[in-house]
Amino acid sequence: MFTGTTIFAQIMNFLPWRRFQTCVARYRGDHKVKTFKCSEHFRVMAFAQLTYRESLRDIETCLRAMSSRLYHMGIRSTLSRNNLAHANETRDWRIYADFAHLLINKAKILYADEPLGIDLESTIYALDSTTIDLCMNLFPWARFRKTKSAIKLHTLMNLRGSIPEFIHISDGKMHDINILDLLIPAPGAFYIMDRAYLDFKRLYHLHQQRAFFITRAKSNFNFKRRYSHEVEPSTGVQCDQTIILTTYYPAKNYPEPLRRIRFYDQQRRKRLVFLTNNFDLPAETIAQLFKFRWHIETFFKWIKMHLRIKSFFGTSENAVKVQIWTAVSTYLLVAIIKKELGLEQSLYTILQVLSISLFEKMPILQAFSLKYELAQNDHCCKQLSLFD
């Protein structure tokens, strides 16, 4: 019989705690802190994400009910709403942001060989943002409109494994275009963006850094055709052209030729026009790459449904950012566990298993195999329904 550590403690062992302490020391997170240090604070916030806690009272009640097991879970201080609220307000959010970036680097290595469904060795990124609405009376620092507050999560996602490699949290007023100024382009990589990022000066900067971009053209787009290339209508590609810009400021900001591809999407019954600086890939491959951009939309929907980033435990800017970065770290932790343990279940299934098993004392692999077998057996169970 297994009498070792809880599943929660085993999960926490996947984290590089020495690197975490480096992040804490960088911002003096534990300076003059005698109890409830940053490592315990992170564990509690990760627990809240894994078990879908709704409030500070919810977290306190749940953990105090299991007080006899908290010590071996790494939570060795007296837990109260005041302690947790004070930590959310005062612990520098950059500690958890830096730690999340460490996990990003670890996950990126694990998912480097993840198949994408297209024969292309280059790194492929999708860039987009999502808005989280807030109450203006409680979050006045995140002013968005006259009667509304909001924050934006600007995300650059590596489509191999759906790993977010860059996240910037801003108020709702920051335009998506401005995030291009914060990126460091990787030569040879593809950046897939929607029309919100169509700024020729910034796109030309990507081109000068030898990176490729794929974006959509706006309806009032003016250009002059130089060449037309042969296309295969059965692929959905209607035209493949080499163009130059004719409007004064766009032509000044992007003085080199661009590639314009018009594609008809049969499923959505919609005509799409793409702009790219890549002249080597087939036109249908460019269209297929842009279709992969929807992975980031799925990512936003997933984290909003399964992580706690829409309702917050505190109202200050620091508390909100602490919660978002610990949520991102939790997502990355689950992705790392899936890869290192070789689990076949989806991230959603792994989260569901963890949410009801954190206090169990069994090998973590046994927990997943048992839950998976029970799910398979329940699916084909021949027992009659009670209400038939």
* CA separation for the pair 340, 107 (Å, rounded): 10
In contact, 172 and 151? CB cutoff 8 Å = yes
Q: Which amino acid is residue 368, in one-letter code?
A: F
How far apart are the C-alpha atoms of 253 and 246, rounded to whole Å? 11
The residue-averaged pLDDT of 122-143 equals 92
For residue 95, the model assigns a pLDDT of 97
Lowest-pLDDT range of 91-100, 166-175, 204-213, 360-369: 360-369
The band of 124, judged by pLDDT with boundaries at 50, 70 and 90, is: very high
Residue 256's pLDDT is what?
95
Q: Decide if 273 contacts 223 (C-beta within 8 A).
A: no
Residue 311 has a pLDDT of: 86
**Mean pLDDT lowest for which of 14-23, 112-121, 166-175, 342-351?**
112-121
DSSP state letter for 71 = G
pLDDT > 90: what percent of the chain?
A: 64
192: CB partners within 8 A, 6+ apart? 124, 125, 126, 127, 213, 214, 215, 289, 290, 292, 293
Compute how many other C-beta atoms are within 10 angstroms of the C-beta atom of residue 35.
10
Closest CA to 235 of 207, 209, 266, 210: 266
Does pTM surpass 0.85?
yes
Q: How far are the Cα atoms of 25, 142, 228, 251 from residue 218, in angstroms, in the given order?
A: 48, 30, 20, 15
pLDDT at 373 over 90: no
Mean pLDDT value across the chain:
89
